[in-house]
Amino acid sequence: MATNTPLADLSAAGVSVWLDDLSRQRIESGNLTSLIEDDEVVGVTSNPTIFASAFADADHYAEDLDGLAARGASVEDAIRELTTEDVRRACDVFRGVWQRTGGVDGRVSLEVDPGKAHDTEATVAEAADLWKTVDRPNLMIKIPATREGIPAITRTLAEGISVNVTLIFSVARYREVMEAYLSGMEQARANGHDLTGMASVASFFVSRVDSEVDKRLDAIGTDAALNLRGTAAIANARLAYAAFLEVFGTERWAALKGAGAKPQRPLWASTGVKNKAYPDTLYVTELAAPNTVNTMPEATLKAFADHGELHGDAVTGTEDAAREVFAGLAHVGIDVDDVYQVLEDEGVKKFDDSWAELTATVSDQLTRRSPEQDK
């Protein structure tokens, strides 16, 4: 059992603590198991940036890379094999958590190729292929909440596949995501899938909102603008939570719940604080609320374990104050719709760039190990 009181308190408050990182080293060293036993960690998220970082440490992948090079595997096939193997092993590590929580937690997320973020058909096909390849019931397939990703979410859920919807920045897009979830679960039920085994989270990004809005507030430079720094991200997430409570309080949801479905919980992503002027646990303390997930980089996790504080439910009932923040932002000239679009475009590009980095790293490793190099 965990001995860190702040993390135990966070878990008791209804927040599922997930780690935003995954690597072969974490799995083989026992670090992932220790985080489960000592730090209340009940899930893991991954993305192309995380895998690009993990694969840079080739020592832990040497045996697999040697085998892939020996049989002449393509770079694409090698990436698929390495990433799915890491995720499969992590799913096995979290199997006990998955069983203990009735499938609510113990989840491990694997993202589709970000290069397909604007291609519905390609996303649906890859989601199905990844689900089949990993072959673990506690897997979640990550699908970006682009316009093309929304129908892919519904179609993937309809096939009985659990989904982590990623790169959500606006409440308007979040509402589309929840609609996609409800439609997908209704179709899954019609298709004969057991809803009790399925789960979904909606990854609502936090710190990147403050980074973009604060930059614009600094450029405006007035006292009214500068006084709003560090307020946008938390207000945005609190409005998202109000939308969550609204949608999952409807009769439509009640019908799915009666069929065994789990609510699609809000997941606070990008919770590492980027501005050093802000408390390093800001996006944990101020977004603690029941039925949420907070996926943290390890630095944030350890910071909260060391000195994190909770002040009860920090989110429920705060929507009026959050709306006032956005009224203030509009008053000083912040175009929040433009902020959201910029962040979505940048988010897809960042993951796409990381995928290119991952491809280059694996290509280099395969070339070094190729039998042709020995001739």
- 31, 93 in Cβ contact below 8 A? no
CA–CA gap between residue 58 and residue 369 (Å, rounded): 12
The CATH code of the domain that includes 148 is 3.20.20.70
DSSP reduced 3-state for 201: strand
Cα separation values, 230 from 92, 211, 283, 332, Å: 39, 8, 11, 15
Instruction: Please report the pLDDT score of residue 4 as a whole number.
Output: 53
Whose CA is closest to 241, among 195, 181, 172, 289? 289
DSSP reduced 3-state for 101: coil
Classify residue 363: in a domain, yes or no: yes
Q: Catalytic site residues?
A: 142
- DSSP letters of 245-286? HHHTTSHHHHHHHHTTPPP-EEEEE--S---TTS-TTHHHHT
Beta bridge partners of 269: 205
Whose CA is closest to 16, among 33, 47, 39? 39
Classify residue 374: in a domain, yes or no: no
Classify residue 214: in a domain, yes or no: yes
Beta bridge partners of 195: none
- 265, 293 in Cβ contact below 8 A? yes
Q: How many domains does the chain have?
A: 1
Classify residue 102: in a domain, yes or no: yes
CA–CA gap between residue 141 and residue 105 (Å, rounded): 14
| 65 CB-near residues (< 8 Å, 6+ apart) | 58, 78, 82, 362, 365, 366, 369
CA–CA gap between residue 272 and residue 250 (Å, rounded): 33
Classify residue 46: in a domain, yes or no: yes
CA–CA gap between residue 177 and residue 165 (Å, rounded): 8
Classify residue 218: in a domain, yes or no: yes
Residues spanned by the domain of 324: 5-368
Q: State the CB neighbour count (10 A cutoff) for residue 80.
A: 17
Instruction: Please report the pLDDT score of residue 371 as a whole number.
Output: 75
Which pLDDT tens digits describe the chain residue by residue (375 residues)?
445 589 999 999 999 999 999 999 999 999 999 999 999 999 999 998 899 889 888 788 999 999 999 999 999 999 999 999 999 999 999 999 999 999 999 999 999 998 898 999 999 999 999 999 999 999 999 999 999 999 999 999 999 999 999 999 999 999 999 999 999 999 999 999 999 999 999 999 999 999 999 999 999 999 999 999 999 999 999 999 999 999 999 999 999 999 999 999 999 999 999 999 999 999 999 999 999 999 999 999 999 999 999 999 999 999 999 999 999 999 999 999 999 999 999 999 999 999 999 999 999 999 988 876 654
